[in-house]
A and B are shown apart, each in its own frame.
Chain A
Amino acid sequence: MHTIKIDLEKCIGCKKCYQACHVDVIRWDEKSKKPYPKYPEECATCNWCELSCSVKAIQVIPGNPVPFPEPYPKHAYLKSYRKE
């Protein structure tokens, strides 16, 4: 899974990362007036939250490998090309 790190000491609470996220990964905490990465499962690693941050308080670390449906499902092919 991808990781979104937010340095709350640096964060100035401008909400730009919350607004930049197009897939609802980042939510806004009304009590602390700070963002938090609530749903990293849906992160598309577009990095716009990080790029929007003027104080470099947020960082997206892409996971590897990303979960992806196998293009050549083994059950479907006579010869499996990967030797495992």
Chain B
Amino acid sequence: MSNTENIDEIVTADVLIIGGGFAGLVAANKIKELNSNLDVLIVEKATTGHSGAKANKGAGVLWVLSEDDDADKFVKYHLDNIGHYLNDQEMLEKFAYTSRDVVQHLEKWGIQIMREDDGGKLARIAEFPLWSLCGVDLDMMDKLRKAALKQGVKMVNKTQVVELLTKDGAVVGAVGFDITDGSFRVFKAKSIIMANGSCDWMVTNMWSSARGDGIAAAYRAGAEMRNAEYSNFYNIGLRGNHSCQVGAQYALYNKDGEYLAAKYCKDWEPDIDIGIILGMEKEVMEGKGPIVFDETELFVQNPLAAGGFLFRWNRPYASKFWLTLFAKEEKYTADHSWRPEVVPNFLGECSPIKVNHDMKTTLPGLWAVGDTCYGGSAMAGAVPAPPGRMRGSGLMYAAVSSYLSCGSVVENAANAAEPELDMEQVAKLKGEIYGPMNREKGKNIREYIFKLKEAVAPPRYAARKNQDRIEEAMEMVKEIQNQLPAMCPENDWHMLGLYHDLSNMALCAEIYYTAALERKESRGWHYREDYPERDDDNWLKWIIIKSNNGKMVTSTEDIPMGSYKFKP
């Protein structure tokens, strides 16, 4: 019999949103607009409105299909050049059309989106012929947080949710702990929205808060994952400070002075493709490294050159953010040599929670939005997402997915019976969450986080895959998982948080490599040296991964190509 005497107060809400970043805040505001009587609670690991890996730490660009853009042309281009027919075409089209409504709604909540001088049309970067890329300032989450507070949304901060609670197959709550004092937290709700981001394995600095908490918790609760093999996004970064040089693929040279874009890039690409990453690694393997970067050529042929659009509009917060960042790089970390060395800079972007067009996961009571499920929605197809080779689409997907989830979230929260918690389950999970704190000494958690980075980030595992190398990487991941019981959080709540982060990130890596091993073809960002061709006869399928009583089970689902508008 488990001990339930020490279970603290149960916090109840109609809607529980796990994650107080951009997606969670859009959902909270929209739900309150639809039904102001519902109790909406956000639980956040950091502080609501300041959290999330990217929304207030990115370029402040928002993808929109404006009224001038043709949705069919956009979808066809995406299928042929980005998603390679692994897309849910209906979801892609729905995303594109909904982006128009979302822009207006964001403006209603006080978010400034850059328009032409007369205040009419959305201002856009002209080089993107099929969609618009708009500017937005980096105080957007602050504005959404204030709007949410005004509407009566409640917020619990500094609380790390570790597991979901289930009853009769439905999700009914969540448990976690306060990272400052270790207090146990139990939440119960009719509708639960997972909004706490992708898994980026803490490799690249700025993305390091995306640790797959929600993906891992949803998987353990039984939710299906889809397109997890596309978790290997890269950009190009300077060796040393690893700052990403967006657009640098058109300004790279090998040791012999050969221009790499001529060999590995198309004349025009909407964003970085895997070809240049494979190319950089090939050059190095052939002894033609290091690869260097000529910044003076960054703006040639390149709609996304770093800095090219950052300062086009007057955005007080974005300007402050970027100018400070650049000044610090200049003073402390920049490689000032002419043509500095660059390397493939792993970002990751594992976002595989499977959702339908209303953002319902495969578990009743659980929805997923934002970076937890951009890949799992299958909207992006054969590319890690965000950004899915469409800059600004991460932010827009966060908004669109939250927007689309709200109808069914509200309906369920307004009509469903009050859920009951399984207190035996609560007690069991409490024991598992705090279990590592009983260890007086053990292995260093941060060292193993670094070992996990070494298993996911090098291009030989993440870009140039083959069966042997995937299995080699998987072995490294399993070894880390095997060592988890020997790790010690040093009687520190922050370290207990890192312990669970490591466990979650290792699980995400296992899901990702399991899917990568399964897909025996090459398509988009999934490149297999042992299966170098795209195989439409056998692989117009999504790979589905789920937990069946703790065992990882893989299956495939045929893409309903017959009902789609465009065929390969």
Q: Kindly list chain B residues whose C-beta atoms are within 8 Å of the C-beta of A70.
A: 454, 458
Cβ contact within 8 Å between A48 and B446 = no
Min CB gap B181→A, angstroms: 10
Contact pick for A21, options B46, B240, B328, CB 8 Å: B46
Answer whether residue A34 sits at the interface, using C-beta atoms and an 8 A cutoff.
Answer: no
**Residue of chain A at shortest CB distance from B329:** A62
* Complex-state Cα separation, A21 to B157, whole angstroms: 12
Given A66-B241, A67-B450, A51 contacting B333 (CB threshold 8 A)? no
Q: How many A-B residue pairs have CB under 8 A?
A: 127
In the bound complex, residues from chain B placing their C-beta under 8 Å from that of A20 are: 47, 50
Cα of A63 to Cα of B240 in the assembled complex, Å: 10
Q: Is the CB of B328 within 8 A of A68?
A: no
Q: Please tell me the size bucket of the interface on B.
A: 35 or more
Residues of A with C-beta under 8 A to B205: 44-45, 66
Q: How far is the CA of A45 from the CA of B482 in the complex (A)?
A: 32
Q: How far in angstroms is the closest Cβ of chain A from B285?
A: 6
Among A44, A64, A78, point to the contact of B333 (Cβ < 8 A).
Answer: A64
Complex interface: chain B residues within 8 A of A64 (CB): 240-241, 332-333
The answer for the CA separation of A48 and B138 in the assembled complex, in Å, is: 11
* With known contacts A65-B240, A77-B285, A48–B46 Cβ distance under 8 A: no
Determine if A46 is an interface residue (Cβ-Cβ < 8 Å): yes
At the interface, is chain A mostly helix, strand, loop or mixed? loop
A50-78 interface with B by 8 A CB criterion: 50-51, 60-73, 76-78
Tell me which of B162-170, B317-325, B419-427 binds A.
B317-325
Q: Within 8 Å of chain A (Cβ to Cβ): is B84? A: no
B423-464 at interface with A (beta carbon < 8 Å)? 446, 450, 453-454, 457-460
Q: In the complex the two chains form, what is the Cα distance from A63 to B241 in whole Å?
A: 8
**Are A50's CB and B324's CB within 8 A?**
yes
Chain B residue with Cβ nearest A72: B284
B290 to chain A, nearest CB (A): 6
- Using an 8 Å CB-CB cutoff, how does the interface string of B228-244 with A read, 1 for contact, 0 for none? 00000000000111100
Q: Are A44 and B241 in contact, CB atoms less than 8 angstroms apart?
A: no
User: By the criterion of a CB under 8 Å from any partner CB, how many residues of chain A are at the interface?
Assistant: 40
Contact B457 A79 (CB under 8 A): no
For A22, give its contact among B51, B286, B453 (CB under 8 Å).
B51
CB atoms of B458 and A79 under 8 A apart: no
Once A46-B57, A69-B457 are accepted as A-B contacts, the answer to whether A24 and B50 lie under 8 Å apart by CB is no
Query: Which residues, 281 to 295 on B, are CB-close (under 8 Å) to A?
Result: 281, 284-290
Q: Any chain B CB within 8 A of the CB of A8?
A: no
Q: B337 contacts the other chain (Cβ, under 8 Å)?
A: no
CA distance A12 to B205 in the complex (A): 29
- Does B453 lie within 8 Å of A76, measured CB to CB? no
Is A69 touching B450 in the complex (CB atoms < 8 A)? Answer: yes
The reply on B370 being an interface residue by CB < 8 A is no
Residue in A closest to B454 when the chains form the complex, CB atoms: A69
- Nearest Cβ distance between residue B348 and chain A, in whole angstroms? 12
For A7, the chain B residues whose CB sits under 8 A away are: none
Chain B residue numbers with a CB within 8 Å of A73 are: 454, 458, 460
A10 to chain B, nearest CB (A): 18
Query: Which residues of B are found within 8 Å of A44, using beta-carbon distances?
Result: 57, 205-209
Judging by beta carbons under 8 Å apart, are B494 and A39 in contact? yes
Distance of B145 from chain A, by nearest CB (Å): 10
Which B residues are within 8 Å of any A CB, using their own CB? 45-47, 50-53, 56-57, 157-158, 179-180, 203, 205-209, 239-242, 255, 281, 284-290, 320-321, 324-325, 328-329, 332-333, 343-344, 346, 446, 450, 453-454, 457-460, 494, 497-498
Sort A-B residue pairs by CB-CB distance and give the 5 closest, nearest first.
A81-B289, A64-B333, A79-B287, A19-B47, A69-B454
Which residues on A are within 8 Å of B, measured CB to CB? 18-24, 27-28, 38-39, 41-42, 44-48, 50-51, 60-73, 76-79, 81-82
New A-B pairs, 12, CB < 8 Å, besides A69-B454, A77-B284? A44-B207, A61-B332, A62-B329, A64-B240, A64-B241, A64-B332, A68-B453, A69-B453, A70-B454, A72-B285, A79-B285, A79-B287
